[in-house]
Amino acid sequence: MREYNWATLGCGVIANQLAQAMEAKGRRLYSVANRTYEKAVVFAERYGIEKVYDNLDEVFADDAVDIIYISTPHNTHISYLRKALESGKHVLCEKSITLNTEELTEAVELAERNHVVLAEAMTIFHMPIYKTLRERIQSGSLGELRLIQMNFGSYKEYNMENRFFNRELAGGALLDIGVYALSFVRWFMSSKPDQILSQVKFASTGVDEQAAILLKNQQEEMATVILSLHAKQPKRGTIAFDKGYIELFDYPRGEEAVITYTEDGQKEVVKAGATAKALEYEVEDMEKAVLGEADEMHLDYTRDVMDMMTSIRKEWGMKYPEEEA
Ligand SMILES: NC(=O)c1ccc[n+]([C@@H]2O[C@H](COP(=O)([O-])OP(=O)(O)OC[C@H]3O[C@@H](n4cnc5c(N)ncnc54)[C@H](OP(=O)(O)O)[C@@H]3O)[C@@H](O)[C@H]2O)c1
């Protein structure tokens, strides 16, 4: 398969993981663009990357770049998406891909107009365990889907300056971790939930620290999602059917699930993929999409999740500075 030239825009925690995923595949990122040039230089030295841009914007004009990986804070994504897509670059953008549906719609239109692939780096859509479980569900052995439970708890220190609680950096539980929980729900549900109720607890900065969300779709499949930025929760998702249930562990980068068939109590362990390879799977699926071989990026799900998050925040009356008229 053709190897594409990847540029990373941003060189923080998750960009390091991408560079390591490339290394694990015996490859290297082609270039790095970053707000702070000195950090880009250190990053490039660490991973043997040949090109560092003096000015971040140079990445968009570099003809050698095929795919740009955007890994800056959420609220900066749309401005980089505009520039990258208008320059004809394919883009894999970290979650949450945009702040809201309006921004995502604009990015999708730009990608279509420029005939490039736009995708969110949503691990869940690329880990083999999710694909394997979906095949198992589609075989019909578990019956009809009834309920999904997906909680995500992450303990972040009460530092109101960091990106998790900082409104100026589009902080809050929904965009940071809720996006995973809702992507999990959307992956297994037959259609986008169209009825949503929620409760929220705000941090002192005005971003959502905790939330509880109830969802139902046209097929009357239901889900509950409980989020916290200041309390850990077990990394477990359950998906219940009329003939059994699935427990998926170490979500979102899981590699193992247990299926319990409730009619006879039989249990089956399902293993697929490896947690450590999460970003490698994303890279592989992205390159297949760019090549036109297969589209497993699920931008349709990304759009559904963004619609849900946008309507939930609307109910809460919670706006980011960029959204205030
Ligand atoms: N950490 C994770 O486990 C993880 C996992 C999945 C997805 N993500 C997503 O990836 C993104 C980045 O997360 P991270 O944990 O890697 O963050 P991080 O370690 O804080 O790195 C942030 C990067 O963005 C740059 N940046 C910060 N503010 C900026 C601004 N206003 N304009 C331009 N660039 C700016 C920083 O540049 P400087 O060097 O100049 O500070 C740095 O390169 C977020 O969207 C997050 O949701 C993170």
Q: Cβ(73) to ligand 1 under 6 A?
A: yes
Q: Determine whether the shortest distance from the Cβ of 72 to ligand 1 is under 6 A.
A: yes
Ligand 1 atom nearest 35 alpha carbon: 40
**pLDDT class of 324 with cuts at 50, 70, 90:** very high
pLDDT in tens, 261-319: 999 999 999 999 999 999 999 999 999 999 999 999 999 999 999 999 999 999 999 99
Instruction: List the residue whose alpha carbon is closest to atom 37 of ligand 1.
Output: 35
CB atoms within 10 A of CB 292: 8
| Pocket flag, ligand 1, residue 35 (CB < 6 Å) | yes
pTM of the predicted model as reported, rounded to 2 decimal places: 0.97
Q: What residues contact residue 165 under an 8 Å CB cut-off, 6+ apart?
A: 156, 158, 159, 171, 172, 203, 205, 207, 209, 229
Q: Which residue has the tokens 């990608």?
A: 111
Rounded Cα distance between 313 and 277, Å, is: 33
- For 40, other C-beta atoms within 10 Å of its C-beta total 25
What does the pLDDT look like over 128-165, one tens digit per residue? 999 999 999 999 999 999 999 999 999 999 998 889 99
What are the helix and strand counts (H, E) for the chain? 10, 14
Q: Residue 152, class by beta-carbon neighbours within 10 Å (0-12 exposed, 13-18 middle, 19+ buried)? A: buried
CB 9 within 8 A of CB 56: yes
Mean per-residue pLDDT for 178-195? 98
Query: Over the chain, what is the mean pLDDT?
Result: 97
More confident residue, 3 or 246: 246
**Ligand 1 lined by 161 (C-beta under 6 Å):** no
The DSSP-derived string for 244-306 is: EEEEEES-SS--EEEEEETTTTEEEEEE-S-GGGHHHHHHHHHHHHHHTS---S-HHHHHHHH
Q: What domains appear along the chain, each with residue ranges and CATH number? A: 6-122 (3.40.50.720), 124-280+304-323 (3.30.360.10)
Is the pLDDT at 1 greater than 70? The verdict is: no
CB distance 95 to ligand 1 below 6 Å: yes
